[in-house]
Structure 1
Amino acid sequence: MSIAISSHVIDITPAIRERIESRFEKLNRRQIALINPHVMIQKEGLNYQVEASAGLPGETLFAQAEDENLYAAINELGHKLERQLTRYAEKPLAQRAQAAQPVVEEE
Structure 2
Amino acid sequence: MSDAAVEIIYEDQGSKGRYVARIAGVEGEGELTFSKVSEALIIADHTAVPDSMRGMGAAAALADRLVADSRAAGRRIVPLCPFVRARSLRRPDWADVIQQ
Query: What is the TM-score with the length of structure 2 in the denominator?
Result: 0.34
Q: When you count strand as a share of all residues, which structure comes out higher?
A: 2
Structure number with bigger Rg = 1
